[in-house]
Structure 1
């Protein structure tokens, strides 16, 4: 059987696939490490060769036409099958580099300080830790494992719950003593530090006060908002107020005495941490070694 001459456009189809998934030429260019102009030119070449319009512009987005949607579906399936074929013949050994991504706070506060333990057990696996708050495409990138917080579900890769982490209030020993926080009602005198975009909309001081049976007097409350758990922890380490944090982020600091958890109040079920990876990755042996260690360390 002769090869379909249209298959000579495999490079153009790779560019089309990226643009179709992102609905953006600029994001496709970032993924492919080429310029946006090059993406635009390759799409035009493909459209001219097929005599079909594949994209239409709406605002800043490049939306697929009816014909483009049909082609995108088949191209995605074709590339998926090719990837599976490559994986079957190119399974890598356990030794080598493993790229793990997690939120900036989880990376710096929990993961990186413990990676030496993994290296002791698996000295031939070099872990590259990347801090990112985004939900990257694990299947179509150089990432091997993603650890994410929040309720997002990714149906394109394997995903499982790692753990649910209760949220607690922490402050410095100095603030605990000066504000006399052995009496819970004295919290009204403290600066309340809260992380925005924590992954759960109900993780707020308002809800904490309700759990504590206290009335939150908004007009008297002193607020400070931060964008990461690490920023909030650094704020209270310096003696600035009291912070609602995921327990695992502050665990070592509480054990060392640098921070205290003054109240026996936990916001549960707390934050959901998920593990994501591609089960058909050629680095699956490496991934399995890391995920086994991660689960054991968390338990």
Structure 2
């Protein structure tokens, strides 16, 4: 019958260090204990498991098959534990507030407003992430989420932030030129929704280049390669700075509402609520 009793955590720490370093002495130095203590811990671990975990190799050691199997589990578990401890450390830092949002909003709308956030809240250190797989607010990995659809997660305060649309833009130097070409997003050309819109309103324009990331399309437009159809929020900074101009002769395509969310009631730290309120105020002022 398998032994269901878990080995001592101290033994597993010593085993992992010896396995990683291939030497009991170096493992002992890393853990600030004696070599005999490491040897004793591993001997007890082997006795409990009923399997040899190491064999001698020169002046060091190497893992047996059983040792390699155990290291795979122990290594993953320790890494997960270290990550958890790092997350707790981040959670306890009263200056950090994490906002997760789509990449085009982070680079086009949010990034240019970070300086204003820091001026309003000098103690704030925002963590800005475009990892949408982590967008669900748990007050540990994510404090604020900006999303293109409401999360509808229990316990959230969630409100509309901004409206977005696909708009035609180009540099002022290209505006009005009769031979204007177009830089395109591959996904838009093949989209059942955006594709027909492009063919109807932009079909007469020759294609200059096709990209697979909207940020590359925007960059190409800023470089003067041609007209681009991009999210207004992505192009926000380039429009405000005058690098790009919206082309009034071409229609836009509404993309819907962008939402912002945080936990209901008291937030993890006051700066989360302050950051949320400031972002919402920015959007309301600019509207």
The alignment's TM-score, normalised by the length of structure 2, stands at 0.57
CA contact (8 A) 2:183 2:217 kept: no
Q: Find the counterpart in structure 2 of residue 230 from structure 1.
A: 215
User: Match for residue 36 of structure 2?
Assistant: none
Choose which of 145, 153, 156 in structure 2 pairs with 1:155.
153
Tell me what 2:113 maps to.
114
TM-score in terms of structure 1 length:
0.55
Query: Bigger shift: 159-168 or 258-267?
Result: 258-267
Aligned partners of 1:152 and 1:197: how far apart in 2?
Answer: 23
Q: Tell me if the contact between 1:190 and 1:241 (Cα under 8 Å) persists in the aligned partners.
A: yes
Match of 1:206 among 196, 214, 220: 196
Task: Give 1:232 shift.
Answer: 1.2
Instruction: Name the structure 2 match of 1:269.
Output: 254
State the Cα RMSD in Å: 3.8
Q: Aligned with 1:254: secondary structure?
A: helix
SS of equivalent residue, structure 2 residue 240: helix
How far 1:157 sits from its partner (Å)?
A: 5.2
Give 1:134-173 correspondences, 5 Å limit: 134=133, 136-139=135-138, 141-149=140-148, 151=149, 153-156=151-154, 158=156, 159-173=158-172
Aligned-pair CA distance for 1:293: 0.5
Considering only CA atoms, is the larger Rg found in Structure 1 or Structure 2? 2
Higher RCO by CA contacts (8 Å cutoff, separation 6 or greater): 1
Residue 11 of structure 2 is matched in structure 1 by: none
2:100 match: 101
Assess, with a 3 A threshold, how the Cα gap between structure 1 residues 231 and 281 changes in structure 2: closer, same or farther.
farther
Q: Structure 2: any 5+ residue segments left out of the alignment?
A: 1-70, 78-90
Provide, for residues 160-188 of structure 1, a one-character-per-residue CA deviation record: whole Å limited to 9, x for no partner: 321211221011233335x42xxxxx6xx
Q: Is the 8 A contact 2:106 2:130 kept in 1?
A: yes
Aligned pairs, how many? 202
Q: CA deviation at 1:282?
A: 4.8
- Which runs of 5 or more structure 1 residues have no equivalent in the other structure? 1-34, 42-90, 181-185
Tell me the distance in 2 between the aligned counterparts of 1:231 and 1:137.
28
| Secondary structure in 1 matching 2:168 | strand
- What does 1:1-299 align with in structure 2 at a 5 Å threshold? 37=73, 96-134=95-133, 136-139=135-138, 141-149=140-148, 151=149, 153-156=151-154, 158=156, 159-177=158-176, 179-180=177-178, 190-194=181-185, 196=187, 202=193, 204=194, 206-210=196-200, 212=201, 216=203, 221-222=206-207, 224-279=209-264, 282-283=267-268, 285-299=270-284
